[in-house]
Structure 1
Amino acid sequence: MPYKTILVHVDGSSHLDARVNIAASLAIAEDAHLVGAAVTGVSKIAYESMAFGQVDPHLDKYLKIAQDRANHALDRFDALATAAGVASRERRLVDDELLGGISVQGRYSDLAVIGQIDPDEPSPMLYGNFPEYVAMNCGCPVLMIPYATELKQTGDNVLIAWNASAESTRAVHSAIPLLRRAKIVHVAVFNPGEWPEAHGEQPGADIGLFLARHDIKVEVTQQKTDIEVGDALLSLAADLGSDMLVMGCYGHSRFREVLLGGVTRTMLQSMTIPVFMSH
């Protein structure tokens, strides 16, 4: 299914430009509608109390500041999207707290573009578990952009982390529009002997054939490693010159808490290229 609505999280961080530029390039390539969503960070409960006349003057002042801050970020989104040549776009001010606000917006999108948390740029608006929470709860695939990237577009040389799980299967299926435009797609199967019942007699052969039928230029490689698979993936991506990683998102979420698998956690903390995830 093509991407017809792409959501990008808009905030006041110094990494906004890279995030919007990548989202804009995808929107142009997919002929998609680009939505820039900025969240005030104030719970809907607060707005409901104001609607019933229970207005705290301090809260009212904070709301105005939060909305001004969000609109300033949306002005930057407008400028970047215009400069990139995005034909169909909209700015969206979301009066809600961050985690739920962006997650809900993602449910009406084909792809959500968000940023990795930068530990050197703390923000009271940005919860530490924001990327993983959105990936686990938004209901659409997520493209996470590393804070250290200088890329303006991504997806020419893609690496798929394949372990034949339901999560990796959903990620591959969701990424097909991107994979079809790639110049080369590498499928990496790590330590296939540990899960012979999942991979079959020729690990990676089935997924390679599946992708080839979609006219995707694909190469399959089996990798043995004694180190943590997340670190091995990052190393392989560097060796191949990959500019995007596609993988399943593993874990489960509870209210205000996300428990992740080891590879997912490694990627979110140490990603060096954009990571496309689906849960």
Structure 2
Amino acid sequence: MCYKTILVQADAADATSSCATLAAQIAITEQAHLVGVSMSGVDQMIYQCNTAAPGVVVLPADLTTLTTRADASLAAFAKRVEHLGVGSFETRRIDGLPDLELLMQARYADLLVLRQAGAPEQTPYMPDSALQYVILHCGMPVLVVPYAGGPGEMGRHPLLAWNGSPEAARAIHAALPLLKRARQVTLAVFNGEETWGAHGELPGADMATFLARHGVQVEVVQRQTREPVGEALLSLASDIQADLLVMGCYGHSRLREIILGGATRDIMRSMTLPVLMAH
């Protein structure tokens, strides 16, 4: 697998932030085409107006503020990635519903780069639920960038969360272009013997062999823990100074995650490093 088209969130707070910078770094390394998208919120505005006052016609002039703001974000994004040295890029303004529009755009991308939900300056036109919806339904890997902290470098030391699930396998497959360039890769297995049939005789060994055939040498770390796996992953990432976490997401149903909690929910809420996710 390789990344040849990368779709990145480029709203006001993201146009010159970590999202744009990390996406640009990957695009340069992979010689990929970069697509910056900004959500204007036009559809939501029309819907809200019709709900509050049925029959009221929303004129194009009423939407100028929204479209102008989105266009300004895209202009800042274009200036930023050009300065960083991206050779091929374009910008697209999304006037429709963010989740549905991003799903459509994702069909023609190898990787999505989106920002962690819940940022203080989060655009109201990219709600928290939209990020979860896109990750679950886009069918592509999504690199989620934490809103706190600077861009820095990414991919020198990835941490792979391996639990033997199809979702985790898809995430690791999707991360191969990054893993092949890494200086050090750690494969983490927590409570590996608790799930029957998830691993071979030695948890993590089969995946390590698979990665070795791709030229990726990994260190397998097995740990037993009583704390939530999401918290244990973030703690391990800090201990080994990992700069990227690769994991499958929503291996359980979203309802179970909401009621009982889960690694995906914990990581999405408290991430301290970029996380490449696949469902």
**Given the two structures, how large is their TM-score scaled by the length of structure 1?**
0.90
Q: Partner of 1:69 in structure 2?
A: 69
Q: After the TM superposition, which of the residue ranges 10-19 and 200-209 deviates more from structure 2?
A: 10-19
**Number of equivalent positions:** 269
Q: Partner of 1:124 in structure 2?
A: 124
Q: CA deviation at 1:229?
A: 0.4
| 2:3 paired with 1:3 | yes
Q: Partner of 2:211 in structure 1?
A: 211
| 2:91 paired with 1:91 | yes
Q: Is the 8 A contact 2:189 2:203 kept in 1?
A: yes
Q: CA deviation at 1:196?
A: 3.9
Q: Partner of 1:278 in structure 2?
A: 278
Q: Distance in 2 between matches of 1:90 and 1:188?
A: 37
Q: Is the 8 A contact 1:131 1:144 kept in 2?
A: no
Q: Is the 8 A contact 1:136 1:252 kept in 2?
A: no
**Given the two structures, how large is their TM-score scaled by the length of structure 2?**
0.90
* CA deviations over 1:193-226 (Å, ceiling 9, x no partner): 1024211211100000000110012111101101
Q: CA deviation at 1:103?
A: 2.1
Match for 1:79: what amino acid? K
Q: CA deviation at 1:93?
A: 1.4
- Aligned sequence identity (%): 44
Q: CA deviation at 1:59?
A: 4.7
Q: Distance in 2 between matches of 1:158 and 1:86?
A: 24
Q: Could you tell me which runs of 5 or more consecutive residues in structure 2 were left unpaired when the two chains were aligned.
A: 48-54
Q: CA deviation at 1:126?
A: 2.6
* CA deviations over 1:60-107 (Å, ceiling 9, x no partner): 234322211110000111011111100000011122111112222112
Q: Partner of 1:232 in structure 2?
A: 232
Q: CA deviation at 1:139?
A: 1.8
* CA deviations over 1:126-157 (Å, ceiling 9, x no partner): 31223212111222100000011212431110
Q: CA RMSD in A?
A: 2.3
| 2:130 paired with 1:134 | no
Instruction: Please give the secondary structure, in 2, of the residue aligned with 1:112.
Output: strand
Q: Partner of 1:50 in structure 2?
A: none
Instruction: Please give the secondary structure, in 2, of the residue aligned with 1:170.
Output: helix
Match for 1:276: what amino acid? L
Q: Is the 8 A contact 2:15 2:76 kept in 1?
A: no
Q: How does 1:249-260 map to 2 (within 5 A)?
A: 249-250=249-250, 251-252=252-253
Q: Partner of 1:222 in structure 2?
A: 222
Q: How does 1:186-201 map to 2 (within 5 A)?
A: 186-201=186-201
Q: Is the 8 A contact 1:141 1:171 kept in 2?
A: yes
Match for 1:272: what amino acid? T
Structure 1 residues 5 and 209 mapped into 2: Cα distance closer, same or farther (>3 Å)? same
